[in-house]
């Protein structure tokens, strides 16, 4: 249970605005707080300090509402949720949120366990806060209370809310009290949180698990209701573990006066899945037959320097009139095995009433104690470790705090404590605590990583092939992802530790991540690698290790010389069988293609205008299942900073071929692309057409010469016919290319097109031959043709090519059995576009 919960504050309501003894240290942070709303003129007090992602600290500020007459044990507050976000540079962003909830949520109560507040806030999903509150149909009937939570962001926007499964009512006092439930945010905060609550009128506890979705909704996942036999005292806490599960550690004990034969009191551990009911029995960590031992506090956390979790247990040992407080620590693994039990020696201070021991990120512990002198809350503390080394906490001993004595320890070992500010200020004091394992801190915020290549802030070449991560201990790959991002947060590649294709071992302690060609494709750009929790496990202990956060392991690609600009290119991608059927029968094709273009441009990344598509498609007949090609063209770059066409082709192919690990897999349209095909360019028809034209021009030139030659020989003959040769030759070339490159993709067309090309060709040759033979009968022609035998032969063959495919192709052809396609043939491009019969004809884009 939380440190604060054990503070008994008797005088808080009288000392809210007492004067503060000034203390001059450099790490004293004070803020002149002007609320953004019409708040009460009372002194702002820090109620809660939250260590938020990306090194932000969030404070919850409360202001007593002076207009409400004070009542014994109650303190009414301004009805705003007032948050102050402190950024690493010291900037403070205030926000006062008006929540549409009942007024009693803004009333603090003085309870035996400390200060009660229905509103509690927890950081979740790196951009949200979870806010708990309560609702009552009848304030005087404890059984009408329900507890709820809502999700807000740091700008005060409100997202989803939920009603929790149960609310606890003490049937002895017949009271509903705030703070009866504990909320534990998952170690992977996208996995939600656990709520632990005693069940009214039973010795059961409910363990409710919820998820908070990316759009801020709260979903109930599962709950366990577990029985904890009637014991005199039950001390229970939950620890979110690195692998996303929760460990419940609890201690129970019976009355010290009663001797029972069977040992019953002890320490137990129970592992809960984050989204499944548990079927496991608790494991025994420690059991004793010795009576008189009562556990009063358990404080556990993931160990940043060691393996697994660490718990610090406080117990009271009473024999007769002698009462002794004992402290010990132990480590446990996520399988439920505990080891390394060690007693801890605490140096006490006569002014201090309550002590707490907290684990420090760099190893060792912070002991802090709270007391009260002349109505001023005082705090005492020091740092120590298992070996009994003791260090000062670099603050005066003792130091004054505000009544709440809110504090937190940041990941960089900085201790933050709330103080009382001079009206209208609030104040904080911070101190950097002794770092026991500083030599293992290489800037990754991860004490398991010895080094990486590239290292933080390196310059890397764009064609880097591997990332290497060297750990201190022997490691094994696990299922968390290792993701490479561009500095703006766009994913370049993401691979799971157990995906052998991309992640492998260097040696026992090193893992290697293969880099795709497309990953670091922007020169002079910053990238970062984020390592999920549980991407690797410690090999010996089989314990998941925590990862590396965003923007920590960053480096920059070197500037490369600008490339020579290349021309536009045409190419195609293939849809998977599912993608094909989705595209043909379900999708709005226009929307699909629009998204496809956009997603591909973002994936490379290039300016979206550079990716184009004509809206046609073709069937791929080389595969057994029905799959279609979509044309994707890449336009040449407009500025030299952009990715050249040739590199963009390579990137696109690499991105699609490695789809499972790139953004292609997560795009709405791109997820339907076939990774076996990638991106292939097509011969550029404009170029082919160009060279064909050039050929025709040459031939025509030859023919003109030939024409003049023939005219000189015989001025009466119909020599203009020679000019038709140019057109005819072009037609032959195009027909043959069409059959070779295109018609073969359309099974049903292949045979007919061959028949319709070759058949009439042969017939025409025969007819031409017959005609020419007949003409030969005319003497002049006969003589001319005798003299020009070669010309006649050419005519004979070319006459056969006067085959009008168009008329044949425009007839209806049945393709694949269910599409009655209409085929268009465009003489210049000869790209084939067909559509199902029920489709609007205007969808077919006719190319120039
Ligand atoms: C605060 O109160 C004053 C006077 O009562 C009013 O003019 C002003 O608009 C209020 N401001 C806000 C932010 O509610
Ligand atoms: C520790 O982190 C806090 C919060 O991000 C930051 O303000 C502070 O400067 C850091 N301290 C050190 C010594 O780096
Ligand atoms: C909770 O959600 C419901 C439905 O979205 C909404 O109508 C209601 O106003 C929300 N309650 C609060 C306190 O935001
Ligand atoms: C609590 O449980 C006892 C026995 O099971 C029952 O008699 C009593 O009515 C219960 N009280 C409430 C408030 O549900
Ligand atoms: C303590 O908990 C254990 C395990 O849940 C149980 O077996 C034992 O009976 C409990 N002891 C008491 C005194 O409740």
Kindly report, residue by residue over 815-832, the tens digit of the pLDDT: 332 222 222 323 333 333
Q: What is the per-residue pLDDT for 806?
A: 33
pLDDT at 785: 61
Residue 830: per-residue pLDDT: 32
pLDDT bucket at 490, cuts 50 / 70 / 90:
very high
Length of the chain equals: 848
Ligand 1 pocket residue status of 37, Cβ below 6 Å: yes
Query: Is the CB of residue 171 below 6 angstroms from any atom belonging to ligand 4?
Result: yes
* Nearest ligand, measured from the Cα of 262: 5
Peptide bond preceding 513 in cis form (omega within 30 of 0): no
Residue 384 or residue 266, greater confidence: 384
Rounded CA separation 790/571 (Å): 42
**Please, are residues 739 and 732 in contact by the beta-carbon 8 Å criterion?**
no
Candidate from 203, 227, 231 with most ligand 5 atoms within 8 A of CB, to mutate: 231
Asked if residue 378 lies in contact with residue 401, where contact means CB atoms within 8 angstroms, the answer is: yes
Average pLDDT over residues 574-581: 94
Give the chain's radius of gyration (CA, Å).
39
What is the pLDDT, as a whole number, of residue 78? 92
DSSP 145: E
Phi/psi for 371 (5° steps) reads: -145, -170
User: Which ligand lies nearest to the CA atom of residue 101 in the structure?
Assistant: 3
Ligand nearest to the CA of residue 284, numbered in listed order = 5
Ligand 2, atom 7: nearest CA belongs to which residue?
A: 88
CA 592/CA 667 separation, integer angstroms = 11
In this predicted structure, the answer to whether residue 776 has a pLDDT above a threshold of 90 is no
Q: In sequence order, what E strands does 438-558 have?
A: 449-453, 459-460, 466-471, 475-477, 481-486, 491-496, 503-507, 510-514, 526-531, 536-538, 543-544, 548-557
The atom number, within ligand 5, closest to the CA of 268 reads 4
Tens of pLDDT, residue by residue over 438-470, are 999 999 999 999 999 999 999 999 889 999 999
The gap between the terminal CA atoms of the chain, to the nearest Å, is 75
Q: Which atom of ligand 1 is nearest to the CA of 36?
A: 13
Range among 32-36, 81-85, 707-711 rated most confident: 81-85
Please tell me the distance between residue 634's alpha carbon and the centre of ligand 3 in angstroms.
Answer: 48
Q: What is the pLDDT of residue 696?
A: 64
Cβ neighbours for 395, distance < 8 A, ≥ 6 positions apart: 25, 381, 415, 417, 429, 431
614 vs 151, more confident:
151
Give the pLDDT of residue 392.
93
Tens of pLDDT along 130-139?
999 999 999 9
Q: Which helix (H) or strand (E) holds 765?
A: helix 747-775
User: Is the pTM value of this prediction over 0.85?
Assistant: no
Residue 826: the pLDDT is 30
Q: Is the CB of 203 under 6 A from ligand 4?
A: no
Backbone angles phi, psi at 650, to 5 degrees: -65, -45
Instruction: Judge residue 554's burial from the number of C-beta atoms within 10 Å of its C-beta, 0-12 exposed, 13-18 middle, 19 or more buried.
Output: middle
Using CA atoms, how far apart are residues 574 and 564, in angstroms rounded to an integer?
29
Task: Identify the residues whose C-beta falls under 6 Å from ligand 3.
Answer: 100-101, 150, 158, 161
> What is the per-residue pLDDT across 636-658, written as a single tens digit (0 to 9) for each?
877 777 788 888 898 999 999 99
Q: Spell out which residues line ligand 5, taking CB within 6 angstroms.
A: 229, 231, 252, 254, 264-265, 268, 282
Q: How far apart are CA 675 and CA 653, in angstroms?
A: 9
Q: How far is the CA of 411 from the centre of ligand 2 (A)?
A: 9
Tell me how far the alpha carbon of residue 265 lies from the centroid of ligand 3, in angstroms: 45
Q: Which atom of ligand 4 is nearest to the CA of 201?
A: 1
pLDDT digits (tens, 9 = 90+) for 268-325: 999 999 999 998 888 988 887 777 778 889 999 999 999 999 999 998 888 778 888 8
Query: What percent of the chain lies above the pLDDT cut of 70?
Result: 76
Please tell me the number of the ligand nearest to residue 204's CA.
5
Distance between CA atoms of residues 505 and 551, nearest Å: 24
218, pLDDT greater than 80: yes
- Nearest residue (CA) to ligand 5, atom 6: 264
Query: Which ligand is nearest the CA of 141, by number?
Result: 4
Distances (CA, A) of 199 to 2, 143, 206, 537, 778: 20, 13, 6, 37, 115
For residue 161, the ligand 3 atom closest to its alpha carbon is 1
Nearest CA to ligand 2 atom 10: 412
As a whole number, mean pLDDT of residues 335-350 equals 89
Given the CA of residue 266, which atom of ligand 5 is nearest to it?
Answer: 1
Binning pLDDT at 50, 70 and 90, where does residue 772 land? low
pLDDT band at 841 (very low <50, low <70, confident <90, very high): very low
- Among 202, 260, 264, the mutation site with the greatest number of ligand 5 atoms within 8 A of its Cβ is 264
**Strand-pair partners of 813:** 821
Question: What pLDDT score does 152 carry?
Answer: 96
Residue 366 pLDDT greater than 70, yes or no: yes
The pLDDT assigned to 5 comes to 35
Sheet of strand 309-319, all strands in order from the earlier edge strand to the far edge: 293-302, 309-319, 322-332, 338-344
Q: Which is the closest atom of ligand 5 to the Cα of 234?
A: 14
Lowest mean pLDDT among 310-314, 377-381, 716-720, 783-787: 716-720
Identify which of 167, 173, 201 to mutate to test ligand 4's pocket (most ligand atoms within 8 A of the CB): 201
Ligand 4, atom nearest to 171 Cα: 13
Q: How far apart are CA 259 and CA 50, in angstroms?
A: 44
List pLDDT tens digits, range 502-560.
898 999 999 999 999 999 988 899 999 999 999 999 999 999 999 999 999 999 999 87
Mean pLDDT calculated for residue range 667-695: 80
pLDDT tens per residue, range 66-77: 888 878 889 999
> Which of 18, 23, 29 lies closest to 88, judged by CA?
29
36 CB less than 6 Å from ligand 1?
A: no
Over 70: is that where the pLDDT of 801 sits?
no
**Cβ(393)–Cβ(407) under 8 Å?**
no
Note the ligand closest to the C-alpha atom of 142: 4
pLDDT at 34 (0 to 100):
84
- Give the separation between CA 108 and CA 213, rounded to whole angstroms: 31
Q: Which among 36, 38, 39, 40 is the best mutation to test ligand 1's pocket, defined by most ligand atoms within 8 Å of the CB? A: 38
**Structure confidence at residue 12 (pLDDT):** 34
* Ligand 3, atom nearest to 100 Cα: 13
Which residue has the CA at smallest separation from atom 5 of ligand 4?
Answer: 201
What is the SS3 assignment for 233? strand
Confidence of residue 726 (pLDDT cuts 50, 70, 90): low
- Give the pLDDT confidence score for residue 258 in this predicted structure: 56
Q: For residues 724-742, give the mean pLDDT.
A: 61
pLDDT of residue 802: 47
**pLDDT range class, residue 571, cuts 50, 70, 90:** very high
Mean pLDDT of the chain: 82
How buried is 283 (Cβ within 10 angstroms: 0-12 exposed, 13-18 middle, 19+ buried)?
A: middle
Q: Tens digits of per-residue pLDDT, 394-411?
A: 998 889 998 888 899 999
Residue 85 CB-density burial (10 A; 0-12 exposed, 13-18 middle, 19+ buried): middle
Structure tokens at 681: 């360019």
For residue 498, name the pLDDT band (cuts at 50, 70, 90). confident
């Amino acid at each position: 249970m939380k440190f604060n919960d054990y503070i008994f504050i008797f005088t808080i309501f009288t000392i809210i605005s007492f004067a503060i003894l000034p203390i001059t240290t450099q790490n004293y942070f004070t803020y002149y707080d002007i609320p953004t709303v019409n708040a009460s003129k009372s002194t702002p007090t820090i109620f809660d300090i939250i260590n938020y992602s990306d090194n932000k600290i969030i404070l919850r500020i409360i202001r007593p509402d002076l207009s409400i007459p004070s009542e014994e044990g109650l303190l009414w507050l301004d009805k705003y949720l007032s948050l102050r976000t402190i950024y690493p540079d010291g900037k403070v962003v205030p926000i006062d949120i008006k929540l549409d909830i009942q007024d009693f949520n803004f009333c603090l109560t003085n309870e035996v366990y400390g200060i009660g507040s229905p509103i509690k806030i927890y950081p979740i999903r790196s951009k949200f806060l979870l806010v708990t509150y309560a609702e009552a149909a009848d304030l005087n009937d404890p059984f009408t209370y329900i507890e709820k939570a809502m999700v807000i962001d740091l700008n005060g926007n409100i997202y989803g809310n939920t009603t929790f499964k149960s609310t606890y009512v003490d049937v002895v006092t017949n009271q509903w009290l705030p703070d009866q439930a504990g909320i534990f945010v998952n170690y992977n905060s996208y996995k939600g949180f656990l709520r632990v609550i005693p069940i009214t009128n039973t010795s059961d506890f409910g363990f409710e698990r919820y998820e908070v979705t990316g759009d801020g909704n709260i979903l109930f996942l599962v709950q366990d209701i577990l029985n904890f036999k009637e014991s005199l005292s039950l001390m229970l806490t939950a620890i979110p573990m690195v692998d996303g599960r929760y460990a419940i550690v609890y201690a129970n004990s019976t009355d010290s006066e009663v001797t029972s034969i069977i040992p019953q009191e002890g320490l137990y551990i129970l592992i809960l899945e984050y989204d499944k009911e548990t079927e496991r029995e608790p494991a025994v960590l420690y059991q004793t037959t010795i009576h008189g031992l009562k556990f009063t506090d358990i404080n556990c956390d993931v160990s940043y320097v060691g393996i697994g979790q660490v718990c610090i247990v406080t117990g009271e040992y009473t024999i007769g009139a002698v009462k002794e407080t004992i402290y010990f620590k132990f480590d446990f693994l996520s399988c439920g095995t505990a080891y390394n039990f060690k007693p801890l020696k605490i140096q006490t201070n006569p002014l201090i009433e309550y002590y707490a021991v907290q684990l420090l990120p760099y190893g060792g512990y912070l002991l802090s104690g709270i007391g009260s002198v002349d109505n001023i809350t005082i705090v005492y503390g020091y740092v120590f470790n298992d070996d009994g080394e003791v260090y000062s906490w670099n603050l005066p001993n003792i130091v004054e705090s505000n009544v709440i004595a809110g504090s937190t320890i940041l990941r960089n070992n900085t201790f933050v404590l709330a103080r009382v500010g001079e009206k209208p200020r609030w104040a904080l004091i911070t101190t950097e605590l002794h770092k026991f394992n500083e030599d293992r801190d290489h800037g990754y915020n991860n004490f398991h990583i010895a080094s990486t290549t590239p290292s933080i802030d390196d310059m890397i070449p764009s064609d880097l092939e591997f990332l290497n991560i060297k750990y201190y201990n022997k490691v094994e790959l696990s299922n968390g992802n290792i993701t490479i991002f561009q500095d703006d947060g766009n994913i370049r590649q993401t691979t799971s530790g157990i995906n052998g294709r991309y992640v492998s071992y260097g040696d026992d302690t090193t893992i290697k991540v293969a880099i795709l060609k497309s990953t670091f494709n922007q020169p002079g750009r910053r990238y970062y690698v984020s390592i999920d929790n549980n991407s690797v496990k410690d090999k010996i202990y089989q314990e998941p290790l925590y990862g590396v956060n965003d923007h920590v392991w960053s480096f920059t690609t070197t500037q490369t010389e600008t490339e020579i600009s290349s021309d536009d290119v045409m190419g195609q991608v293939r849809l998977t069988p599912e993608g094909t059927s989705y595209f043909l029968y379900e999708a709005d094709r226009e929307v699909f293609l629009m998204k496809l273009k956009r997603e591909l441009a973002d994936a490379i990344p290039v300016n979206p205008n550079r990716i184009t598509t004509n809206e046609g498609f073709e069937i791929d007949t080389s595969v057994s299942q029905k799959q279609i090609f979509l044309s994707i063209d890449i336009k040449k770059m407009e500025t030299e900073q952009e990715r050249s066409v040739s590199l963009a082709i390579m990137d696109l192919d690499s991105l699609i071929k490695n789809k499972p690990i790139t953004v292609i897999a997560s795009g709405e349209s791109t997820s339907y692309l076939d990774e076996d095909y990638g991106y292939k360019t097509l011969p550029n028809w404009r170029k082919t057409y160009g060279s064909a034209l050039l050929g025709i021009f040459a031939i025509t030139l030859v023919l003109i010469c030939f024409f003049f030659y023939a005219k000189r020989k015989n001025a009466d003959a119909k020599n203009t016919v020679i000019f038709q040769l140019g057109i005819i030759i072009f037609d032959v070339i195009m027909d043959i290319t069409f059959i070779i490159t295109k018609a073969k993709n359309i099974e049903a067309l292949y045979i007919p097109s061959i028949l319709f090309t070759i058949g009439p060709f042969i017939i025409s040759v025969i007819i031409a031959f017959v005609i020419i033979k007949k003409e030969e009968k005319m003497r002049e022609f006969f003589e001319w043709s005798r003299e020009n035998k070669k010309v006649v032969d050419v005519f004979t063959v070319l006459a056969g090519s006067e085959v009008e495919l168009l008329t044949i192709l425009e007839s209806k052809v049945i393709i694949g059995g269910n599409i009655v396609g209409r085929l268009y043939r465009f003489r210049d491009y000869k790209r084939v576009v067909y559509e199902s019969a029920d489709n609007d004809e205007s969808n077919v884009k006719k190319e120039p």
